[in-house]
Each structure stands twice: as structure tokens, then as C-alpha cells.
Amino acid sequence: MFRRGDTLDAGPSARRAQRSRVVTQRWALVDDRLVDVVGVLFSQNIKIRYRGSVLGIVWSALNPLVMATVYSAVFGRTFAPYYGGSVVLYGCTVFIGLSLVGFFVASTSECSTILVQNGGLINKVRVPLEAFPLATIAAHAFQLIAGALPIVVVISLVVNHDPLRVLLLVIPLAALLMLTAGVGILVSAAGVFFRDVPHLYELATFLLWVTSPVFYPVAIVPHPLVHVLIFNPLFVILRSALDIVIAPVLPAPWLPMLGFAEGALALAVGIAAFAAMRPRFMDHL
């Protein structure tokens, strides 16, 4: 009666189990349900953000628009000489910078708490965990593409009258998406182990933000420092995006390519780190 390891219904089922293969429950790199779960979390995210109104998308573009206006008002006259004397062009630069860097900062910051927030659920159902950061990033990316990107395209066409440049913009955009996805899943995993990651990450994003040429021209950065800034992938990506949209001559291809490579590297590192930490998640959630 009190035997340890007593089994239920030993008999036919036990015999069947012996014949059966042993199912090891290891976490696969891509769960078969990943697409479905990301899809439902994504639409949930969008619905909560917009509450069924189009105003949400307008708002997501309005925020950098207002900020760009403020920056133009404060720094416009000082920095205009770097933009062919045009305050408007400076404002456009700031808008692009705010949109792209803002996308990165907002989505990765949200990722740093996303798994802990959903800890209750994760403890109940088997769900591909990377779906949570990926859905968050997808929702922010949707906002970026539906809200700010059309304005960036218009800026590009007005400044350069060259549709080819709009096409080229795909490269830094893809680099940004990969970078954000990589950093996002990495930070989401780190947030599981250390509850102060969101605070520390805030500091990190501030550094990334200041070292990206969002509201100042790259030309004012002292020369040796530029070589350091190149290690900030956001700097590389943003600069190549700005060159493509605004610069009178097309930039050398190495900068967008470097950004792309950095994005791909970040994505690979993020996926590998997440997979490595995944087995120990549940002890902390």
C-alpha cells in the first residue's frame, strides 16, 4: 500500500509504454505553435494599444513629430548649417532618428519585463516563451511601419526625388528589426534572472540613445570618438538610414552592410543566449 513509486494501472499500459519511444521534452528552437502564439499575442497587443481606433497609429507618428518640432525649435538654428542651412531638414533628421531609435528603446524595454509579467501564465501552460518578446517587438514594428515609415518615405521622396532610395531603406530597416529582436529576447531572458534588469537597461538605452546621432549632426562628434560610436549598432543603422534618406549623394555601401551584419549578429547572439538560459527560467518565474 505504501510502496514508493507505486504505479497506476500497471498492466496493458505499462507494456505499451515499454514499446513506446521515450519522449524527451527538450525545448526545440522553433516550437510548432510559435506562429500561432505570436499572432494572438501580437493582435492582443495591438488591440490594447489602439482600442479599436485609428487614432492609435496617428498617435504613434505624432509623438516623434511633436518631439522633432521641439528639437527644431531649440537646436534648429544651431545645427542648420550642417543640413544645408535648412531647419526643416534638421527636423526631418530628428524625426527619423526619434522614430527608429524610439522603436528600439520602447520595444526592448518592454521586453525586459515581459516574461516576469506573464510568469503566472507561463507556470500554467506550455507556451513557447520567445513568443512574448517577439510579439511585443512585432507590435512596435507594426506601429513603426504603419505610423512613421510613410512619413519617412515622403521625406525621402521630397528631398531626393529618387524612389531607389526608398527601396534601399529596406536594408537599415531590416538591420534594425534584427537588432531589436536579438536584443529584445536577450533582455527578456536577463529580466527573468535579475529583477533589476529593467532599471539597469534604462541606463543602457540612455547611453545608446545619446551615442546615436538623433538630435545632433555626426559632424560635431570629435574625431576619435566616432570610431568608438561605430560599436553602437544603432549609430551605424541610424546613420546609414539618414544617409539614404537625406544625404545628397548615396553613401558607401559598407555602412549599411555593417549595420546589417551587426543586426544579424545581435539576432544570432540573442537566440543562442535565450536557448541557453531557457532551461533555468522556470526556477525564477
Partner 1 sequence: MISLRNVTLERRTREEFDDDLKSRALSLFTGRDRRPRRKRVLDDVSLEIEDGAKVGLIGPNGAGKSTILKVISSVLTPTSGTVDVRGRVAPLLELGAGFNPELSVVDNVALYGVLLGLDRRTIDARLEAILHFAELEEYRRYPVRALSSGMTARLGFAIATDADADILLVDEALAVGDESFRAKSRARIDALWHAHRTVVIVSHDLALVRATCERAVWIDRGRIMASGPPGEVVDNYVRSVDQAATLALARARNGAGR
Closest to partner 1 by CB, 113 or 160 = 113
Q: Which residues fall within 8 angstroms of residue 233, CB to CB, at 6 or more apart?
A: 175, 179, 259, 262, 263, 266
Exactly one of 29, 163, 193, 272 binds partner 1 (CB under 8 A); which one? 193
Burial of 284 from C-beta contacts in 10 A (0-12 / 13-18 / 19+): middle
Q: Nearest distance from residue 210's CB to partner 1, in Å?
A: 22
Closest to partner 1 by CB, 82 or 142 = 142
Compute the distance between CA of residue 137 and CA of residue 131 in angstroms, rounded to an integer. Answer: 10
Exactly one of 197, 214, 234, 267 binds partner 1 (CB under 8 A); which one? 197
Q: How many residues does the chain have?
A: 285
Provide the CA 228 distance to its chain's centre, in angstroms.
Answer: 22
The contact mask relative to partner 1 for 111-130 (x = CB under 8 A, - = no) is ---------xxxxxxxx---
Exactly one of 81, 154, 158, 194 binds partner 1 (CB under 8 A); which one? 194
Cell numbers that stand for 22 in this block:
521515450
Q: Confirm if 174 and 83 have CB atoms less than 8 A apart.
A: no
Exactly one of 25, 161, 224, 227 binds partner 1 (CB under 8 A); which one? 25
Give the residue carrying C-alpha cell 527538450: 26
Binding site for partner 1 (CB under 8 A): 1-2, 4-10, 12-14, 16-17, 20, 22-27, 33, 36-37, 39-41, 43-44, 47-48, 120-127, 190, 193-197, 200, 279, 282-284
